[in-house]
């Protein structure tokens, strides 16, 4: 682990409350957004690449979304629909600004990052429904967005990686949209089973085992115990026929085995998969380029994958 990552991890232990300790979620979410937009936040979470434009639009059934596109590149362009993380309980499209803009520039693509309803006020499957509405809206409005509807990928980190995996399954089962690729960044693909990486990294920075379990309880609410693949995509009856995948995991992350086991499920079903575990990385590192140096390499790897597949 890089020295600056170690310092950040120690600070997180002191200042960050677990989600199970938060009394006022709206205030907590607003505070996180203010931090992201502050000078210190931009040093931690990264700045939007100036070679990309950023626009706010409304998608799906009324969800807010941020659109990043490279400047001075003629369309129609491929599109990446990116779902933010945050345990289905917190998070926003802004937290992916650094990642989305760099991918837009590097892959010469339009990156659309929608918001979605959050638990516990809107528990499962509200987030799934919003993400599906956003994905299909993007494809239906391809001309308006300047994108090529035959070159679409989904992407997400953590809870967003869960949602991206679910979108790939839903699109396959519905006969479209026809997705070219899925980029799953330290995804949570299983709601209940406890695997070795969770024990090994039970007190890891950013995400602990206790946090994981609290997020699941808040997200599923009264449906806790469901085996619906829209909650746990690894439980789908089949993973055959899914788009090519790039799965990224972090060494110091309780969710590492979620990504590794989903890789195994996809490979067993004949899906081409690229898989990389990033040494020294912690959960959420692709939203933390200022404190996790390997984030730059990881985003370059995503760009290479998307340019090859889109």
Kindly report, residue by residue over 91-147, the tens digit of the pLDDT: 999 999 999 999 999 999 999 999 999 999 999 999 999 999 999 999 999 999 999
pLDDT of residue 16 exceeding 90, the answer is no
**In the block, residue with structure tokens 């939203």:** 287
pLDDT of residue 17 exceeding 80, the answer is no
Residues with a catalytic annotation lie at 158, 253, 283
* Cα four-point dihedral sign 54, 55, 56, 57: negative
Residue 12: the pLDDT is 81
* Per-residue pLDDT band at 200 (split at 50, 70, 90): very high
Give dist(CA 189, CA 233) in Å, integer.
5
Contact 156, 88 (CB under 8 A): no
Task: Return phi, psi of residue 143, to 5°.
Answer: -60, -45
Give dist(CA 139, CA 135) in Å, integer.
7
Residue 14: the pLDDT is 76
* SS3 label, residue 269: coil
Q: Which residue has the higher pLDDT, 222 or 14?
A: 222
Cα 308–chain centre separation: 20
Residue 20: the pLDDT is 79
Record the pTM.
0.97
Write down the mean pLDDT value for the chain. 96
Q: What is the mean pLDDT of residues 280-298?
A: 97
Residue 13: the pLDDT is 79
Residue 176: the pLDDT is 97
pLDDT of residue 237 exceeding 90, the answer is yes
**DSSP H helical ranges for 24-125:** 25-37, 39-45, 97-107
**In the block, residue with structure tokens 């200022």:** 290
Give dist(CA 63, CA 115) in Å, integer.
6
Give dist(CA 21, CA 214) in Å, integer.
10
What is the topology classification, in CATH, of domain 3-309? Rossmann fold (3.40.50)
Q: Which two structure tokens, joined as six digits, stand for 77? A: 């362009």
* Per-residue pLDDT band at 61 (split at 50, 70, 90): confident
Give dist(CA 79, CA 142) in Å, integer.
9
Give dist(CA 35, CA 94) in Å, integer.
11
């Amino acid at each position: 682990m890089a020295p600056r990552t170690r310092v950040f991890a120690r600070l997180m232990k002191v200042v960050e409350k677990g989600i199970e300790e938060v009394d006022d979620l709206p205030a907590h979410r607003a505070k996180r957004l203010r931090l992201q937009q502050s000078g210190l936040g931009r040093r931690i979470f990264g700045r939007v690449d100036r070679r990309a434009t950023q626009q706010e639009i409304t998608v799906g059934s009324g969800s807010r979304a941020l659109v990043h596109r490279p400047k001075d590149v003629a369309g129609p362009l491929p599109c990446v629909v990116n779902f933010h993380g945050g345990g289905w309980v917190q998070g926003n499209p802004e937290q992916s600004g650094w990642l989305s803009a760099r991918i837009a520039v590097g892959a010469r693509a339009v990156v659309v990052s929608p918001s979605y309803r959050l638990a516990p006020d809107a528990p499962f499957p509200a987030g799934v429904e919003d993400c599906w509405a956003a994905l299909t809206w993007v494809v239906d409005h391809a001309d308006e967005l300047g994108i090529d509807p035959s070159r679409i990928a989904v992407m997400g980190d953590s809870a967003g990686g869960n949602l991206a995996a679910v979108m790939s399954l839903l699109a396959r089962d519905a006969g479209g949209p026809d997705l070219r690729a899925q980029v799953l960044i330290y995804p949570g693909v299983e709601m209940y089973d406890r695997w070795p990486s969770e024990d090994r990294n039970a007190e890891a920075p950013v995400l602990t085992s206790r946090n994981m379990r609290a997020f699941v309880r808040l997200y599923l609410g009264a449906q806790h115990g469901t085996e619906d693949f829209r909650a746990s995509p690894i439980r789908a009856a089949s993973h055959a026929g899914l788009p090519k995948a790039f799965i990224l995991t972090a060494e110091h992350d309780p969710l590492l085995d979620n990504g590794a086991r989903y890789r195994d499920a996809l490979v067993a079903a004949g899906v081409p998969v690229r898989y990389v575990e990033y040494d020294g990385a912690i959960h959420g590192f692709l939203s933390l380029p200022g404190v996790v140096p390997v984030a730059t390499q990881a985003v370059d790897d995503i760009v290479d994958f998307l340019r090859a597949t889109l």
